[in-house]
Amino acid sequence: MGPGAAEEHRRSDDFPPPAEHPPKRHDEDAVLRVLILDDESIVVDTLAACLRLPGLDLTTCMEIEAAEALLRCFRFDVVITDLSVSQLGGLDGMRLVRFVTANFPDTAVYVLSGYVDQAVRDLCAVLGVTAVLEKSEGLSRLRGYLLDRRDALAVSGAPPEGEGELQQVELLEDFMAANPIRAVLQPVVKLRDGVSRFDIFGVESLARGPANSVLGSPAVFLAYAAQKELLFEADMICIRAALAEVIHLSNSVVTFLNVQPRSLTNPEFADKLCSAVRIAGIEEKSIVLELTEQQTIVNPRAFAATLQRLRERGFRIALDDFGEGSSNLNLFQDLHPDFLKISGTFCRGLAHDPFKQIIVQSTAEMAARAGTATVMEAVETAEDAEVLRLLGIDYAQGYFFLKPLPGLELAKLLQADAARQDHSGGVLEPLGASPSVP
């Protein structure tokens, strides 16, 4: 997906909180970000052609689930939607209108529909719609509204030059059928005295998609899949991509796979996962499933049954992003995880933040008493790594040690290090360590 280092050390597999506008242009203060929803491709293309103007960044989609996923991941200044946006007919577009006006009151909503009567106008007014327009004659008015909003954003009043960005979101099923998801592996290391050397204990797989697709972002891809109740299928795509990279490594390396808890409610999950692992030639005991609370478990009984089956087959469990959300302690109690992965927000600046140190040390002590190993994410400095060790954290990962790499590249690095050990007994140096003085 090509994010920069500052962004990539944040878990891109996770569902992020609603983000600020995705940075794209240098004159972003004068850029109006517009989301367009219509289930007819010809209408979407017509709107994109008519509204692709300087200072307007357009994102188009053809399913309400895609629009909702995008709104959960990015901020938009304007949403344009038809009211009939599904094969079932009816005014289901009102669902999106209500979602936007209830959660993003600063976002303008324009309804562009083929048929509008007074009842529709009255309902739209109650919901807070900015304007209701008919498709035939309303397009030119819509164009004018957007230009006025764009100009209001410009500090100098001068419109930006050049066409705005256009991103077209493909249908989820088409994206999944193309199978474009790949994976990179970020090492999980054992913390030891000093930080000049480290050993790799395991790797976490991070999904990556094509940079030229909005769905190339795992956050958007999984949010879209969640809206369409296709998380199980999306998870299996990401898992197979991960295993294709892990096969390059030794079986002694533990693999952490991200899984949405709702996937475990699918009765086929355990068998599908075991089959994929077996085909890859990997032992179940070397796989750790990372679970988060990002998606509500709607069938707790099925989830618990699948979890028990997986544990019986040798899989281990990690609770991911501990410290975020409101139910982590409940999940810790319910899951009895083998690993507790602590959110990287508690690591940044840890060496100089006594309050964070208290939280991290208390978490490490609690986990140790429960027989759970701890892993700190997003470690960036030698100071933080050393403080983590002193506070009792067992493992760590982050850009200080190594950036995520394809499996083959990581395997070559490990092989080269093994060759050095045969001669000097050394192990890997952190990426962020200062060069040694000869």
Q: Assign residue 128 the CATH number of its domain.
A: 3.40.50.2300
Chain centroid to Cα 157, Å, comes to 36
111 and 183 in one domain?
A: no
Domain count, the chain: 2
Positive or negative, the CA dihedral 411, 416, 419, 423 is: negative
280 and 383 in one domain?
A: yes
Residue 352 counted as domain residue:
yes
Please state which of the ranges 56-70, 104-118, 143-157, 295-309 shows the lowest mean pLDDT.
Answer: 143-157
**Phi and psi torsions of 399, nearest 5°:** -70, -20
Domain boundary among 110, 129, 164: 164
Q: Residue 23: what pLDDT?
A: 41
Burial of 143 per CB tally in 10 Å (0-12, 13-18, 19+): middle
Closest CA to 215 of 170, 166, 174: 170
Residue 85 counted as domain residue:
yes
378: left (phi over 0), alpha (psi -120 to 50) or beta: left
| Rounded Cα distance, 135 and 44, in Å | 12
- pTM score: 0.86
Count of helix runs (H) and strand runs (E) in the chain: 15, 14
Please state which of the ranges 62-66, 215-219, 275-279, 414-418 shows the lowest mean pLDDT.
Answer: 414-418
267 and 159 in one domain?
A: no
321 and 231 in one domain?
A: yes
Which of 14-18, 121-125, 238-242 holds the top average pLDDT? 238-242
318 and 216 in one domain?
A: yes
Confidence at 3, pLDDT banded by 50, 70, 90 = very low
pLDDT higher at 424 or 369: 369
362 and 214 in one domain?
A: yes
153 and 272 in one domain?
A: no
Residue 433 counted as domain residue:
no
Q: Residue 320: what pLDDT?
A: 93
Average pLDDT of the residues of the chain = 87
Q: Could you give the 3-state DSSP secondary structure of residue 243?
A: helix
Per-residue pLDDT for 395 more than 90? yes
Structural domain range at position 412? 175-424
Residue 18 counted as domain residue:
no
The DSSP code for 140 is H
Q: Could you tell me the CATH number of the domain that includes residue 189?
A: 3.20.20.450
Residue 251 counted as domain residue:
yes
Residue 2 counted as domain residue:
no
The single-letter code of the amino acid at 66 is A
237 and 160 in one domain?
A: no
367 and 250 in one domain?
A: yes
Confidence at 18, pLDDT banded by 50, 70, 90 = very low
Q: Give me the mean pLDDT over the 402-406 stretch.
A: 95
284 and 240 in one domain?
A: yes
Per-residue pLDDT for 95 more than 50? yes
Domain boundary among 114, 134, 164: 164
The single-letter code of the amino acid at 36 is I
| Rounded Cα distance, 22 and 214, in Å | 11
Query: What dihedral angle (degrees, nearest 10) is formed by the CA atoms of 121, 124, 125, 131?
Result: -80
182 and 160 in one domain?
A: no
Residue 80 counted as domain residue:
yes
Q: Give me the mean pLDDT over the 87-109 stretch.
A: 87
Q: Residue 187: what pLDDT?
A: 95
Residue 281 counted as domain residue:
yes
251 and 383 in one domain?
A: yes
Domain boundary among 145, 164, 183: 164
